[in-house]
Structure 1
């Protein structure tokens, strides 16, 4: 599961990076592009950091950050979709994956807290 999620979060970040090449180079596009690259790449980076946590409390804290970054990525994808900056066909698979990752890390955090 850990290796699968490490690869899944990396693949997701790479897909977002690829998608951002489609964002027009205007003020809103540049802002969203920078924000979504930061939040999507942070998911995998913080998940890896959580796995190396020195304590249960540190793991829970880092997983909370992962959950926040995944949810933030959902937000930026929704903005891209609703503003029609990017075609829905491009956004939908990414939005689905971002929602799934958010749910996985939310569940992971709740489980870790309950076993505290």
Structure 2
């Protein structure tokens, strides 16, 4: 029996496995990492708004989780639904960012940086949703 070494999914030379790049998955994952760090900062520096911090943590990390599910959808309909949920979570995250900025819990620079990343994801998701709808006709 042949011995298998290393990770099955590891990107090893000659393994034949070549992960395909997916910009929206990569960006949503990177954004989720930022949101987790942002949550820790909010919780440490503004513990009185822990419920708001948990809301943005939930919505900001849900974007990528739903896109991961969409990436392995069984049908176009399931794919479209998961992308739609990711889009809704992105918009909810934008709301929480706006609220935290308007109530002066985050400064202009922090708000602009997070909002820019989130808006880019929203644009990508809108484009994916539009293309999916057009291809379903």
TM-score of the aligned structures, taking structure 1 as reference length: 0.92
Unaligned runs of 5+ in 2: 1-19
Post-superposition, which runs of at least 4 consecutive aligned residues in structure 1 deviate over 6 A? none
**Aligned counterpart in structure 2 of residue 5 of structure 1, from 20, 24, 27:** 24
State the structure with bigger RCO (CA 8 A, min sep 6), 1 or 2: 1
Q: Does 2:21 correspond to 1:21? A: no
Alignment root-mean-square deviation, CA: 1.3
Partner Cα separation in structure 1 for residue 40 and residue 129 of structure 2: 33
What number of residue pairs does the alignment pair up?
114
Conserved? CA contact 2:24–2:124, under 8 Å: no
Bigger Cα Rg: 2
Unaligned runs of 5+ in 1: none
Conserved? CA contact 1:22–1:86, under 8 Å: no
| Map 1:1-116 → 2, pairs under 5 A | 2-23=21-42, 24-26=46-48, 29-116=49-136
Larger helix proportion, structure 1 or 2? 1
Distance 1:5 1:16, change over 3 A: same
